[in-house]
Chains A and B, each alone.
Chain A
């Protein structure tokens, strides 16, 4: 619910923390006059409050430890952000008030102080070495003492947190893989790195399960229970300051049970620590061994802190210029399109060249050693010209530039002065452009696919014995032997035999590919494989005896009856149905015209079909009917 009053246009959400604070008298409403920046920060505060409510709800609702730890981490981050935004808001208000007062009292001249440009600051590859006592390593009783840790990084109003890492005595360093980029940092930035940790054991006497808490709170608390609760709620006797604790005092957030993070160590980094490589910095550790959230830190933190001032990455100034050719009298001027970026003034023949990424005609260095001055009016031209002097080796080289008009010249000079200011403020960051890798969107954890090795291909079904394979093969062998004895062979056998097969088979199987008849003499033992099963069933299904005119001789002889007929009747079956092991019409689909003898489905074949059916089970491997 929004409450719009006539005195202020700023809409303050009813029930928001801000309104509560106003009611408490901590902030005067008149302080919140409307400006664009205010509404910006107001929006951010509201957003963070919503996030915080969400985190509280999640914390209350979740039952798993790591979920609770993540939610508590978000809660702490939100609280810190809200604090930062509110203090920034207050600072802005105060600055505005001061400005108004100053303007009223004195006639302030044009703002003369030049502000250096802002830049990007990135911190990455944070690594905090640990120093476990050897007693820890050999302590084997019970479970590992684990702690959940994460880092909170703050530059001005921007606060970021790293991912959470579980630490136990098997870890030698705490590594945070995140790259955190702060986009608008001034050269005098202070990057505050705070390490928070929380013990990750079943020790919350208030109950990690919300049910326990609810029951405890609903029933009256005894003295001991109350004391325990208080201890759990307390942000920890060891830490002098705890952001979470302070925040909950100021902001009337809901009292949350669950894991609480405590500040373990902190440090501050600034421009002097910026370098294009890894550096080690000292950590100030708060807390001691007695605390539950203690992790033995070595006392330092390694990281890569890089900075990219905007003057190095962006075009600070561009326009048409005239460059005087060195030597020669009368002097001749060349028209160029100049672009001031980084430590160089690139001069292109035309503006299109710059856009087309063509190499510039020439480049004039603008760095700390460059000297620029505006010379007196050239008698030939009306405008002032700019002289840029550089030392190349031992020689001094001077370029003379001239702009189209006085205003242009003035703008160029301004740009150069700004560049010098930036370079003096950003110091070592302007020597060379430091690389900052933007954090890429996290890819989901790749599920390693099965390797293509034979080991992975062979699947031995636990439901089937290896002996069943030999059973099938021996049975098949017997049947084939008997069949060959009787002189009747299954139609498909003729495909392999040299002798001209059934007259029904129109194609002569006498091709060189099948020169060697298949030897079924020794059933070579082979573990069941997926492909084997598939082949078996497709073999049965394919139209070996597919030609209808063939007289698919059913095993008429009585001696064959006891042996369960396998392949042949199924071959006849295939005339009308190409086998689909999933189809229910298998057994029932016997065209009476073809098959005279009813056959009994062999159990082994059924088993293999069942296997195939299991493998084609949609739960294992998606199949769609089209």
Chain B
């Protein structure tokens, strides 16, 4: 019973997220989204369910998601399926701008990781940027 409800909940969340992203992408501008992720406890760790790449100490040329190859920001490189981040609407390729009010555009990779994995925080509120749908499609089809 509970499982079915949870699945329904997931579906609803997904629908809403997709609807929102489509709405936003119609503006053909860079989308900024606030995403609230509730950490999941797995044993003694609190996980968010995604991976990040980037940082001011990393080589920005190797970032496959950034438009500007000198962008040293923090990008989401992977989202664990059914994880807390995916449920909250985080997508691969999103650029993380802020975490709980802390800036993430000028941080080293390790600083970014630390800001996301604070043990005393149960919820992280991210401000992410996502390129519009149209731009993404245009670029890939060109």
Q: Could you list which residues of chain A lie within 8 angstroms of chain B, going by C-beta atoms?
A: 449-450, 452, 456-457, 495-496, 505-507, 511, 513-514, 518, 520, 524, 526, 530-536, 538-539, 541-543, 546-548, 575-583, 585, 589, 612, 615-616, 620-626
Q: Are A621 and B14 also in contact (CB < 8 A) when A531-B139, A542-B91 are?
A: no
Q: B128 at interface (Cβ–Cβ under 8 A)?
A: no
B78 touches A623 (CB 8 A): yes
The answer on a CB contact under 8 Å between A624 and B51 is yes
A450-B69, A452-B68 known; A623-B77 Cβ under 8 A:
yes
**CB within 8 Å for A577 and B81 given contacts A533-B64, A538-B136, A621-B62:** yes
User: Which of B64, B70, B80 is the most central at the interface, judged by chain A CB atoms within 10 Å of its CB?
Assistant: B64
Q: Which residues on B are within 8 Å of A, measured CB to CB?
A: 11, 14-15, 17-19, 21-23, 26-28, 47-48, 50-55, 58-65, 67-70, 77-82, 86, 91-93, 109, 112-113, 116-117, 133-134, 136-142
Residues on A with beta carbons closer than 8 Å to the beta carbon of B55? 622
Supply 6 A–B pairs (Cβ within 8 Å), ascending by A: A449-B59, A531-B67, A538-B65, A539-B136, A539-B137, A623-B77
B137 to chain A: which residues have CB within 8 Å?
496, 518, 535, 539
Do residues B81 and A547 form an inter-chain contact, with CB atoms below 8 A? no
Which residue of the partner chain, among A514, A543, A589, A622, contacts B53 with CB atoms under 8 Å?
A622
Q: A541-B92, A624-B52 are in contact. Are A616 and B64 (CB under 8 A)?
A: yes
Of the candidates A495, A579, A621, the one having the most CB atoms from chain B within 10 angstroms of its own CB is A621
Which 4 pairs between the two chains have the least Cβ-Cβ distance?
A535-B140, A534-B64, A621-B62, A450-B61
Q: Are A538 and B51 in contact (CB under 8 A)?
A: no
- Give the CA-CA distance A534 to B65 in the complex, in Å: 6
User: Is there contact, CB below 8 Å, between A450 and B59?
Assistant: yes
Closest chain A residue to B65 by CB distance? A534
B61 close to A456 (CB less than 8 A) = yes
A274 to chain B, nearest CB (A): 44
| A535 B136 Cβ-Cβ under 8 A | yes
Evaluate contact between B51 and A622: CB separation under 8 angstroms.
Answer: no
| A583 and B80 contacting across the interface, CB-CB below 8 Å | yes
Chain B min CB distance to A473 (Å)? 9
State how many angstroms separate the Cβ of B98 from the closest Cβ of chain A. 15
**Chain A residues within an 8 Å CB radius of B113:** 624, 626
Q: Which residues of A contact B141 (CB under 8 A)?
A: 518, 520
Of the listed residues B28, B65, B117, the one surrounded by the most CB atoms of chain A closer than 10 A to its CB is B65
State whether A612 touches B64 (Cβ < 8 A).
Answer: yes
Q: Which residue of B lies closest to A549 (CB)?
A: B15
Once the chains are docked, how many angstroms separate the CA of A8 from the CA of B47?
67
Extra 14 A-B pairs, beta carbons < 8 Å, given A450-B60, A580-B79, A583-B81: A449-B70, A506-B19, A507-B22, A507-B23, A543-B21, A548-B15, A582-B78, A583-B78, A583-B80, A621-B53, A623-B53, A623-B77, A625-B50, A626-B50
* In the bound complex, CA of A579 to CA of B76 (Å): 12
Smallest Cβ distance from B80 to chain A, in angstroms? Answer: 7
**Residue in chain A with minimal CB distance to B85:** A626
| Shortest Cβ gap from B66 to chain A (Å) | 8
- Can you name the residue of chain B whose Cβ is closest to the Cβ of A492? B137
Cα distance A526–B138 in the bound complex, in angstroms: 13
For A520, the chain B residues whose CB sits under 8 A away are 141
Residues of A within 8 A of B82 (CB): 576-577
Identify which of A505, A513, A520, A581 gathers the most chain B CB atoms within 10 Å of its CB.
A513
A304 to B79, CA, bound (A): 60
Determine the residue in chain B with the shortest Cβ distance to A524: B142
Whether the pair A578, B70 counts as a contact (CB closer than 8 A) is no
CB-based contact A513/B134 at 8 Å: yes
Cross-chain contact A452 with B80 (CB below 8 angstroms): no
B residues in contact with A579, CB < 8 Å: 92
With contacts A452-B68, A507-B23, A623-B53 taken as known, whether A514 is within 8 angstroms of B47 at the C-beta atoms is: no
- Contact between A513 and B26 (Cβ–Cβ < 8 Å)? yes
Q: Evaluate contact between B81 and A626: CB separation under 8 angstroms.
A: no
